[in-house]
Structure 1
Amino acid sequence: MEMQALKTRSLLLVFMLLLSTNSVEERAKSELETKLLRKLNNKSVSTAQIPAETKEQIEIEL
């Protein structure tokens, strides 16, 4: 019984770690997107003017 409780607790901790990691990644991605949009707005460049290769590279880096 004690072993089952330990396994359950371990699985819960791993699951919580995965959730927090995903949250950090999403936050970093969101911050990067915000910075990119600010740069685009400051330069008055629309996303239509960005080459497709550049867009793909940005998505890969995110």
Structure 2
Amino acid sequence: MKPPDIPPDEDARLAELCSLNVLDTIAEERFDRLTRMARRLFGVDVALVSLVDENRQ
């Protein structure tokens, strides 16, 4: 399988993600609200927020 291409703005995306200081933190109500809203909007049982850095999801 061919690995996906790296987007041209990947460095900027990673820098922005790092600047948010949300990696390796405890669960936060603001993300819970987003997933509850997505579940209702799309009528699904599960919705999630996934943050992807250089080495992990």
TM-score normalized by the length of structure 2: 0.32
Structure possessing the higher radius of gyration over alpha carbons: 1
TM-score normalized by the length of structure 1: 0.30
Structure with the larger RCO, 1 or 2 (CA within 8 Å, 6+ apart)? 2
